[in-house]
Amino acid sequence: MSKRIVLMMTLLLNVAVMLGRPAYSKPVDILQPDGTTVTLVMHGDEFQSFTTTADGYTVVKGSDGFYRYAVRQGHVLAASAFVARNAEVRQETEKAFLNNIQKMERPEMSETGKQWKKQISKMYRSTYDNLEHGQRRAVTPGTISERIDYSKFKGLVLLVNWSDKTFKMQAPQGFYQKLTSERNYKDDSKSVYPFNIKGSVRDYFYDNSLGIFDPTFDVTGPITINISCEYPWPKDELGNIREGWGERAAEILKAVMTEADKTVDFNNYDLNNDGFVDMVYIIFAGYGSYMIGNNMKYMWPHANNYADYNDAGQRLCDYFNFPSFDGKKFGRYACGVEIQDYESQSDKHAYADGIGTMCHEFSHVLGLADHYGSFLAHTPGKYDLMDDGVNFNQGLSPVGYSAFERYVLGFADNTVTTLEVAGNYSLEPFNTSNKAFIVKTQNDGEVFYVENRQKQGWDESLPKHGLLVWRVDTSDPQKFISNTVNVGMGDECLQLVGNAPYMGIDLMPATNASWRTKEAAIDLFDITTNGGVISFQAGKDLYPLTIEDFEATPLSESGATGVAGKFCSWDLTNAAVVQSPLYYGNGEHVVRLQKDGMLSSSAIEKDFRSISFRIRNSEEYNLRVFFRTSTDGTTWTALPTAESYYTIPDSEPLDFLFCDIPKGTRFQIAVTTDDSKHTSATCYVDDIVVTYKKDATGIETVKDKNIDVHAPTYNMAGQRVDKNFKGLVIKGDKKFVIK
């Protein structure tokens, strides 16, 4: 059955470039010294990380062992007098203190961290240097980079015990041999994980390349090095890179390679005979420091390339005095840890890391940069392996590659095509069809990738399914090469350009600021799904629209009535037009709704084809939103859902769209709590977009049979369209609506 669907537009001489997985972002309850617990979340990466409460207030660990709210003192963060607590148990004095604290406050990055960021990663150059005008230039077929051939690749996996920490599992070599290299690998025993194993690392890359890349790995070990598991110590107490981390990392790696050289013939892993080992993946016994509460001295998973040059023109392997191993130099590597779990819960479980970290780190070796951002950037999140999509089901179900990722790696050369001609189109699920569209913009180097992602295969754990649209800005390839793709809000180079979790029919300049301000060459309308196949109409300016962004609306007090807007006037009950808080709107102004708040329109003067808006929940708990209509302003009817309301998850945005609102109707957006125990229900509404039906413009409406089928047909943007196009067209010197 066809239905309206989601529109998911959802680095100095001694510094080595290390690129790693993001912090494990799942909230976890942390025990404070007084016996209370607080729910904390870790953010960031191996360059810099920080910790917040579940509702986004940054915390630091004080000298007394308590996690306390952080306050900025010059360039650093310090512990305040207030112990961090969950929102529901905070006292009024704490709330008053937090009213003057900015959420997601992060420490200033250390000079060492900045140097690491600055160093150019040649691991990525061959991938992103091939991008021109946002698209991929022709490259040698079947190659990952200048050094690795897809058709011949064989990797080496080294299992490594520390002097004081050994592998917890029995017979790890056999286990990891299967987990990395067995085709169609399945294991339902749950002996190592709380979930079923549904595929190996080899399966992931084989499936996401549609058979182009079929890697195998030789697993060796465990070998033991005479170094403590606490020796790495990559970060300080504020989450910044510690001085000497590059030297410590090199010392550890030399010890690993020297020990492995006793049993491994490294000649077998230089397939192109360039004198460098193609790639080594290292799994260290024990836990990692990328999970909140774990020992900060533990290893943080990362990738690196010691074949790269430092600023003095010296290869890193030579700068750090690496010996040769069977005549081969040490080059690319990535590493992870055995256990992806909280050490504080080791008495209950110690689950192994799945394949997600290895797929993420190995994707760096292939040439992909990190796509997660520094803290407040709008990034792909759980929809992208190179962001937070590595952790599903204990890392056993990492999300599949996006169209952009397959395209730049050469896995979709002939199936990702440019959408330039207006008309009616459809897309089958991307994970199996490998088909997607590129939509150009007026900005050189910037495009949108449009793909159909359904909850199947490697995408089964996606938060939502539907039409995903990625904005990719390669006008400065250096950002991809230097792994600074998404460094901060407003400076993102790869992002999902919106999120409509429940419904959506259009992708056009109105739907969100990213799309609107970048002038896409073509827009998408009437998006529907049937049996997992998504259909839509492509064109430009097919329907008139108006956007109520409240930017021209003066700031108001709660209870204001008759507030002038762009297509109606507004009454605000327990609501007000306010300065937009960080991250809660697209511009300077936004409507704030509080408990039992209502934003009500006057009677509309035209038939609305559609009305859409975004609402963001700022609370720590779910809220209920109602969309109601009225013909007299007295009796209101909620548009049908099973409960006549919609639930907005805590601290999340939600996009709504409703169709066919007749002239003379009043509409209302209302919010309340999801249960009686909560007294606050603050939400923010922005970008109310309405489109109008073309039939109401007086333009002649004709049937297909009344038009000369041999005459060329153009849309209102002057683009020639095909015979299946529906909507406003020009033939000769006349305008028609083709139905």
Looking from the CA of 675 toward its CB, the CA atoms found within 13 Å total 6
* Amino acid of residue 157: V
> Contact, 691 vs 608, CB < 8 A?
yes
Please state, in angstroms and rounded to a whole number, the distance separating the CA atoms of residues 280 and 261.
Answer: 12
Cβ-based neighbours of 491, under 8 Å, separated by 6 or more: 377
Low-confidence ranges of the chain (pLDDT < 70): 1-22, 113-148, 371-379, 474-521, 582-583, 641-643, 651-652, 694-739
Q: Return contacts of 487-494, CB within 8 angstroms, 24+ apart.
A: 487/373, 487/374, 487/377, 488/373, 488/374, 488/375, 488/376, 488/377, 489/373, 489/376, 489/377, 489/378, 489/583, 491/377, 492/373, 492/377, 492/378, 492/379, 494/371, 494/379, 494/380, 494/404, 494/470
SS3 for 625-675, per residue? EEEEEECCCCCCEECCCCCCCEEECCCCEEEEEEEEECCCCEEEEEEEECC
> 188: helix, coil or strand?
coil
Pairing of strands 701-702, 734-738: parallel
470: Cβ–Cβ under 8 A, 6 or more apart, which residues? 9, 380, 402, 403, 404, 448, 449, 451, 494, 495, 496, 497
> How many CB atoms within 10 Å of residue 67?
22
Full DSSP string of 335-362: EEEEE-S-GGGTTT--PBP-SHHHHHHH
pTM over 0.75: yes
Class assignment of domain 545-692? mainly beta
The pLDDT of residue 431 is 95
In a 3-state reduction of DSSP, which class is residue 547? strand
**What distance in Å separates the CA atoms of residue 554 and residue 626, rounded to the nearest whole number?**
25
| CB 728 within 8 Å of CB 693 | no
- Between CA 244 and CA 115 the distance in angstroms is 13
- Report how far residue 419's alpha carbon sits from residue 440's, in angstroms, rounded to the nearest whole number: 8
Nearest Cα residue to 577 out of 562, 557, 547 = 557
The pLDDT tens digits of the residues spanning 70-119 come to 998 887 889 999 999 998 899 999 999 998 888 888 877 777 766 665 55
Q: What is the 3-state secondary structure (H, E, C) of 273-310?
A: CCCECCCEEEEEEEECCCCCCCCCCCCCCEEEECCCEC
Cis peptide, bond prior to residue 649, ω within 30 of zero? no
Exposed, middle or buried, 717 (CB in 10 Å: 0-12/13-18/19+)? middle
DSSP E strand stretches across 123-236: 131-132, 135-136, 154-161, 216-224
pLDDT at 691: 85
Tokens standing for residue 728: 């406003």
Query: Who contacts 405 (Cβ-Cβ below 8 Å, separation ≥6)?
Result: 363, 368, 384, 385, 386
Helix 201-208 × helix 172-181 angle, to 10°? 10
- Give the pLDDT of residue 327: 97
Measure the CA–CA gap between 219 and 325, rounded to whole angstroms.
17
Taking the C-alpha atoms of residue 453 and residue 433, their distance in angstroms, rounded to an integer, is 10
3-class SS of residue 120: coil
In the chain, domain spans: 28-106, 113-132+144-368, 393-539, 545-692, 699-738
In the structure encoding, which two tokens stand for residue 216, read together?
Answer: 């195998």
- For residue 352, report the phi and psi dihedrals to the nearest 5 degrees: -70, 155
pLDDT at position 280, please?
95
Identify the helix (H) or strand (E) that includes residue 729: strand 727-731
